[in-house]
């Protein structure tokens, strides 16, 4: 294993950095826009709420890999365009992440006790002020562990990018294994790399769940 990682360190580094870039782009697309969409659906627009629920159902019944392949091959052929596989992956997984985040935020907003809004109205706050100053801080604590866990799932989904030629960690491991033919060593290194990537997510999620456990009681 040590010989392989020394000899192919630059390939492994490229794959590691590509995977990092993928997950960061997916988070930047999914979490901020999904949160905004969820707030709009949960508090301001029933039509947006219905749209979010419909899209969530669609992503549940459509396998991620099928969606990724459809965006990469038939859709681009129909539109007569060619998009870099990296960005195709970001669009596909970022969209799934955005819809999932919106659904989480919207659902939690719907579950928040009405007494919070009533208290805000009693204090003379507008609907916008109630959302910003009362509901949103409570909401962030409630959704943080769930959204964090979903980001870990998104990181695992980046493995599918290898199937449309994105040089992320799994594809790099396959390439190296085809040259050295030592699957035990190569894929053991892959396990180590993904442990390095995923462990911080799950440690953070455990911390958030522990810190905010009283909110869920």
Q: Kindly give the residue spans of alpha helices, DSSP state H, lying in 112-135.
A: 114-122, 127-130
pLDDT tier at 213, thresholds 50, 70, 90: low
Spatial distance between the Cα atoms of 169 and 113, rounded to a whole number of angstroms: 44
Residue pLDDT, tens place only, 71-88? 999 999 999 999 999 999
Spatial distance between the Cα atoms of 216 and 213, rounded to a whole number of angstroms: 5
Supply the mean pLDDT for the chain: 90
Scored b (16 or more CB within 10 A) or e, 125-147 reads beeeebbeebbeebbeebbbbbb
Spatial distance between the Cα atoms of 105 and 57, rounded to a whole number of angstroms: 16
Q: How many domains does the chain have?
A: 1
Domain housing 168: 2-216
Consecutive H or E run containing 11: helix 9-39
Among the listed residues 180, 179, 162, the one whose alpha carbon sits nearest the alpha carbon of residue 171: 162
The CATH number given to whatever domain includes residue 195 is 1.10.3720.10
Residue pLDDT, tens place only, 152-205? 999 999 999 999 999 999 999 999 999 999 999 999 999 999 999 999 888 988
């Amino acid at each position: 294993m040590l010989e392989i990682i020394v000899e192919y360190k630059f390939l492994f580094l490229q794959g590691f950095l590509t995977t990092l870039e993928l997950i960061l782009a997916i988070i930047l697309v999914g979490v901020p826009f999904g949160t905004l969409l969820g707030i709009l659906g949960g508090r301001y627009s029933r039509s947006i709420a219905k749209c979010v629920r419909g899209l969530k159902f669609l992503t549940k019944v459509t396998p991620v890999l099928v969606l990724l392949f459809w965006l990469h091959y038939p859709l681009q052929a129909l539109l007569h365009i060619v998009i870099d596989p990296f960005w195709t992956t970001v669009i596909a997984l970022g969209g799934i992440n955005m819809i999932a985040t919106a659904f989480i935020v919207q659902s939690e907003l719907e579950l928040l006790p009405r007494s919070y809004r009533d208290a805000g109205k009693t204090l003379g706050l507008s609907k916008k002020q109630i959302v910003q100053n009362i509901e949103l801080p409570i909401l962030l604590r409630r959704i943080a562990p769930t959204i964090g866990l979903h980001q870990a799932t998104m990181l695992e989904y980046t493995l599918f990018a290898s199937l449309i030629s994105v040089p992320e960690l799994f594809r790099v491991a396959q390439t190296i294994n085809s040259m050295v033919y030592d699957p035990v060593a190569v894929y053991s290194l892959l396990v180590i790399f993904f442990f390095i990537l995923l462990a911080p997510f799950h440690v953070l999620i455990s911390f958030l769940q522990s810190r905010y456990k009283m909110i869920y009681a």
